[in-house]
Amino acid sequence: MLSNSKIKFLKSLHSKKFRTKHRQYIIEGHRIINEALKAKVELGGIWCSDDYAKKNELFLNSISKTQIRYEITSEKSLSQVCDSQNNQGIIGLIDLPHNKELDINLSNFLILDNISNPGNMGTIIRTAVWFGIKDVIISSECVDLYNSKVVRSAMGAHFHLNQIVIKNLDSLITKLQKNGFSIIGAELNGTSINKFKAPNKWALVLGSEAHGISLSIKSLLDESITIPNKDNIESLNVAVAAGIILNSLV
């Protein structure tokens, strides 16, 4: 059973302050926990409700054969911890990865500039992994990558990323350019993706949902590309745009 002190601790991890302090975060739901197990992520514990345990006996039996400890607790206790309104009856605890220095390799990069919406951030990460982009650079102004809503939206994509670098974008972009990468910005006024031929080494920059790419980053772009608009609608959701552009680039 979850003690009151454990409930308080786990609940606190929905706050960036305490995630940073304890270097841990919460994942919620059967699918994402299964994804973590398949990716061989080390979990610091799993808690599930009585009802979940009855319906998922085979899954819990498979967990019991690993080094990961799970406990059955009450639905009430689990609800106190979960951030989502309709929890799925199971949560897990994972250590936060340490922020890395940029490792230049032969793969392409995704650069996220001031992405503030958690749902968009999670969907972008999930989409990037789908298209094989596993190296992500994030500005410090972006929503926290381990925000509970981001984690739910990404549906386990975090476990498949090679590196997550959170630093000042200007210096990192310059470093990529020195290593032969072309920096491509997604903008409203750029070369149509239908006419753009991607170079071998590139990094795609996606900007703020409201304001686009920062002016300081715009000045560093080697190319600007756009998704052709066939109507007068003002803009496209950044997560949707990410999928369309990545499909074109890769």
**Average pLDDT of the segment spanning 107-135:** 95
Ranking 47-61, 154-168, 225-239 by mean pLDDT, the lowest is 225-239
Cα gap 157→209, rounded to integer Å: 21
pLDDT at 64: 86
Confidence of residue 18 (pLDDT cuts 50, 70, 90): very high
Q: CATH assignment of 4-95, given 3.20.20.70, 3.30.830.10, 3.30.1330.30, 3.90.1150.10?
A: 3.30.1330.30
Residue 25 confidence class, pLDDT cut points 50, 70, 90: very high
Mean pLDDT of 179-194: 93
Residue 100 has pLDDT above 80, yes or no: no
Kindly give the pairing relationship between strand 70-73 and strand 43-49. parallel
- The answer to whether residues 112 and 206 touch, using CB atoms and an 8 Å cutoff, is yes
What is the per-residue pLDDT for 209?
82
Mean pLDDT for the stretch of residues 121-125: 96
Structural tokens at position 162:
């090679």
Between residues 188 and 17, the one the model is more confident about: 17
Q: Spell out a b/e string for 103-132, using b for 16 or more CB atoms within 10 Å of the CB, else e.
A: eeeeebbbbbbbbebbbbbbbbbbbbbebe
| Domain extents in the chain | 4-95, 109-249
Residue 235's pLDDT is 75
Is the Cβ–Cβ distance between 137 and 181 less than 8 Å?
no
pLDDT at 232 over 80: no
Inform me whether the pLDDT recorded for 1 exceeds 90: no
Question: Looking at residue 96, what is its pLDDT?
Answer: 92
Residue 212's DSSP bridge partners are 208
Share of the chain above pLDDT 70, in %: 100
The C-alpha atoms of residue 34 and residue 46 are separated, in whole angstroms, by 11
Residue range 27-31: average pLDDT? 93
Pairing type for strands 182-192 and 223-226 reads: parallel
Residue type at 16 in one-letter notation? K
Could you tell me the strand order of the sheet in which 163-166 lies? 163-166, 135-138, 109-112, 202-206, 182-192, 223-226
Is 80 exceeded by the pLDDT of residue 112? yes
- Tens-place pLDDT, residues 34-78: 999 999 998 999 999 999 999 999 999 989 888 888 899 999 999
Q: Please report the pLDDT score of residue 250 as a whole number.
A: 87
Give me the DSSP letters along the chain: ---HHHHHHHHHTTSHHHHHHHTEEEEESHHHHHHHHHTTPPEEEEEEEHHHHHH-HHHHHHHHTSS--EEEE-HHHHHHH--SSS--SEEEEEEPPPPPPP---SS-EEEE-S---HHHHHHHHHHHHHTT--EEEE-TTSPPTT-HHHHHHHTTGGGG-SEEEES-HHHHHHHHHHTTPEEEEEEEEEEETTT----SSEEEEE-BTTTBS-HHHHTT-SEEEEPPPSS------HHHHHHHHHHHH-
**Domain 109-249 adopts which CATH fold?**
Alpha/beta knot (3.40.1280)
* Higher pLDDT, residue 24 or 42: 24
pLDDT of residue 184: 97
Count of alpha carbons within 13 Å of 117, Cβ hemisphere only? 14
Whether this model's pTM surpasses 0.75:
yes
Query: What is the Cα–Cα distance from 46 to 70, expressed in whole angstroms?
Result: 4
Q: Over the stretch 69-86, which tens digit does the pLDDT of each residue have?
A: 889 999 999 989 988 777
- Which residue type occupies 223? E
